[in-house]
């Protein structure tokens, strides 16, 4: 009787999951090649650091969010587009919304996080998150609607002075131009906590150049259809807002919170430096859904940069666990930090470099081009970046 091949189930096709699948696909197997199955509820991978470029039209959806089918064509990876509704940890079986359960020999949990839910009145109904392609499309729709209205001013309140709030604020200011009235609200006393000083100063300058108002030490009391209520030093104030954007924090979903795996108080799955879940040697996890210290003991931030580097190790370690080889402890190499600060502007600190303005913009673009999944996608996007300005020029001259 012919033996069924082993099956590796990768749950989630984001930075952690997709890049692990691509890594596993490259490796040479001692015995029969296992089936590599990637499961995601969406049909597109989202390169989230470039999601802001959709707001300004600097990039198109196919560049930032290519379909998995395209990325996985010519690979041995099987794609299942379905929602994972549960995981039986003991039997390593994945429950799916529209298909029969899938039993796997190795499981890789890479389901990422969601925008942290809030019980502040009106947030769920009226504030827009900015995390997924759907969020970006919904924002574009709202902006188009507001831009086509006869409003003299378009008042935007962004809640959260972290990376998303700052980057989104600058892009929105550039898109809305003179009509834009943008406020960034944060309960703390500065933007970009934990960021290198150079980047924070560049961001402050970019916000100030765009006349983005900063409200620090301010809590949100409620969000209404066309207003937001703020609390500052005991004083409550309701101001008009055509658009409220909610960019506050990441939380893991209920599915992960309910798993009988070792977790942190915040519900993140604990992993060893080998990216195995303690006590579950055939269960690997990476990315935003996890809490990981690397081989040197440093606690890792929930970023794409970490998930991407983990994917390399995760792919290797899953392969090693099936080929009787030693597993490698993950070592994180911080490569620095890049932020977009409006159209054609950015700031960058890392690898001995400190750049702002157009040089940072160019370096950021090239770094992300290099990081896009698959050589084919890198080439198509790169070619588009080269030819688009030429085509634009030709159209303008005719």
Of 35-43, 191-199, 268-276, 369-377: span binding ligand FAD (CB under 6 A): 35-43
Nearer to ligand FAD, 25 or 42 (CB): 42
Nearer to ligand FAD, 47 or 280 (CB): 47
Residue 352: partners with Cβ closer than 8 Å, 6 or more residues away: none
User: Taking CB under 6 A as the rule, does residue 16 contact ligand FAD?
Assistant: yes
Given 128, 255, 362, 367, the residue binding ligand FAD (CB under 6 A):
255
Q: Is 356 left (phi over 0), alpha (psi -120 to 50) or beta?
A: beta
User: Taking CB under 6 A as the rule, does residue 165 contact ligand FAD?
Assistant: no
d(CA 146, CA 128): 15
User: Taking CB under 6 A as the rule, does residue 342 contact ligand FAD?
Assistant: no
Alpha-carbon separation of residue 291 from 188, 312, 313 (angstroms): 24, 17, 16
Given 218, 274, 276, 303, the residue binding ligand FAD (CB under 6 A):
303
Nearer to ligand FAD, 107 or 289 (CB): 289
d(CA 174, CA 382): 24
- The 8-class DSSP code of residue 298 comes to P
* Minimum CB–partner distance for residue 370 and ligand FAD (Å): 14
Given 64, 192, 244, 307, the residue binding ligand FAD (CB under 6 A):
307
User: Taking CB under 6 A as the rule, does residue 380 contact ligand FAD?
Assistant: no
Q: Answer whether 63's CB lies under 8 Å from 384's CB.
A: yes
* Minimum CB–partner distance for residue 98 and ligand FAD (Å): 11
User: Taking CB under 6 A as the rule, does residue 173 contact ligand FAD?
Assistant: no
* Minimum CB–partner distance for residue 17 and ligand FAD (Å): 5
* Minimum CB–partner distance for residue 232 and ligand FAD (Å): 27
Q: Where are the alpha helices (DSSP H) in the chain?
A: 15-26, 52-56, 61-64, 68-72, 123-126, 133-148, 163-176, 197-209, 254-257, 304-322, 357-371, 375-397
Given 38, 65, 79, 84, the residue binding ligand FAD (CB under 6 A):
84
Given 8, 9, 10, 17, the residue binding ligand FAD (CB under 6 A):
17
- The 8-class DSSP code of residue 263 comes to B
Nearer to ligand FAD, 9 or 112 (CB): 112
Nearer to ligand FAD, 23 or 33 (CB): 23
User: Taking CB under 6 A as the rule, does residue 309 contact ligand FAD?
Assistant: no
User: Taking CB under 6 A as the rule, does residue 112 contact ligand FAD?
Assistant: yes
Given 63, 288, 291, 294, the residue binding ligand FAD (CB under 6 A):
288
d(CA 234, CA 244): 22
DSSP-assigned states of every residue in 175-236: HHGGGEEEEEE-SSSSSSTTS-HHHHHHHHHHHHHTT-EEE-SEEEEEEETTEEEEEETTEE
Given 8, 9, 10, 14, the residue binding ligand FAD (CB under 6 A):
14
* Minimum CB–partner distance for residue 158 and ligand FAD (Å): 12
Nearer to ligand FAD, 34 or 112 (CB): 112
Residue 365's nearest CA partner among 47, 136, 14, 132 is: 47
Nearer to ligand FAD, 32 or 301 (CB): 301
Q: How many residues bind ligand FAD (CB under 6 A)?
A: 31
Site for ligand FAD in 202-241 (CB under 6 A): none
Residue 196: partners with Cβ closer than 8 Å, 6 or more residues away: 337, 349
d(CA 101, CA 42): 18
Tokens, residue 351 = 């690898």
Looking at the DSSP bridge assignments, the partners of residue 93 are: 88, 103
d(CA 18, CA 380): 19
Given 38, 51, 139, 269, the residue binding ligand FAD (CB under 6 A):
51
Residue 312's nearest CA partner among 26, 7, 8, 9 is: 26
* Minimum CB–partner distance for residue 235 and ligand FAD (Å): 32
User: Taking CB under 6 A as the rule, does residue 305 contact ligand FAD?
Assistant: yes
User: Taking CB under 6 A as the rule, does residue 34 contact ligand FAD?
Assistant: no
Residues that bind ligand FAD (CB under 6 A): 12-17, 39-42, 48-49, 51, 83-84, 110-112, 130-131, 163-164, 255, 287-289, 302-305, 307
């Amino acid at each position: 009787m012919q033996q069924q091949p082993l099956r590796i189930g990768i749950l989630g096709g984001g930075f952690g999951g997709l890049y692990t699948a691509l890594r596993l696909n490259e490796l040479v197997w001692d015995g029969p090649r296992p089936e590599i199955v990637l499961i995601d509820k969406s049909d597109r991978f989202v390169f989230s650091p470039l999601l802001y470029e959709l707001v300004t039209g600097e990039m198109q959806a196919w560049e930032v969010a290519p379909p998995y089918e395209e990325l996985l064509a010519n690979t041995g990876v099987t794609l299942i587009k379905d929602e994972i509704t549960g995981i039986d940890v003991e039997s390593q079986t994945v429950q799916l919304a529209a298909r029969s359960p899938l039993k796997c020999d190795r499981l890789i949990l890479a389901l990422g996080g969601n925008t942290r839910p809030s019980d502040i009145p009106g947030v769920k109904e009226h504030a827009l998150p900015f995390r997924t392609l759907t969020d970006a499309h919904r924002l574009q729709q709202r902006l188009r609607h507001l831009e086509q209205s006869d409003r003299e001013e378009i008042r935007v309140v962004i809640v959260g002075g972290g990376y998303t709030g700052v980057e989104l604020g600058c892009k929105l200011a550039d898109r809305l131009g003179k009509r834009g009235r943008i406020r960034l609200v944060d309960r703390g006393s500065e933007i970009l906590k934990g960021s290198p000083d150079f980047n924070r100063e560049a961001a402050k300058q970019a916000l100030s150049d765009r006349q983005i108002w900063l409200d620090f030490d301010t809590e949100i009391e409620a969000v209404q259809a066309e207003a937001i209520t703020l609390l500052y030093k005991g004083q409550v104030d309701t101001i008009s807002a055509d658009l409220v954007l909610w960019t506050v924090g990441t939380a893991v979903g209920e599915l992960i919170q309910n798993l009988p795996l070792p977790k942190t108080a915040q519900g993140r799955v604990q992993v060893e430096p080998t990216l195995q879940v303690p006590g579950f040697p055939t269960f690997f996890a990476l990315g935003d859904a996890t809490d990981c210290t690397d081989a040197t003991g440093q606690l890792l931030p929930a970023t794409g940069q970490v998930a991407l580097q983990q994917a390399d190790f995760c792919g290797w370690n899953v392969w090693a666990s099936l080929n009787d080889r030693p597993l490698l402890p993950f070592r994180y190499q911080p490569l620095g930090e890049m932020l977009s600060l409006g159209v054609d502007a950015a700031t960058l600190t890392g690898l001995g470099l400190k750049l702002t303005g157009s040089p940072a913009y160019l370096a950021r673009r090239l770094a992300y081009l290099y990081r896009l999944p698959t050589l084919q996608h890198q080439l198509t996007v790169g070619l588009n970046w080269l030819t688009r300005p030429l085509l634009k020029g030709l159209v303008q001259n005719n």
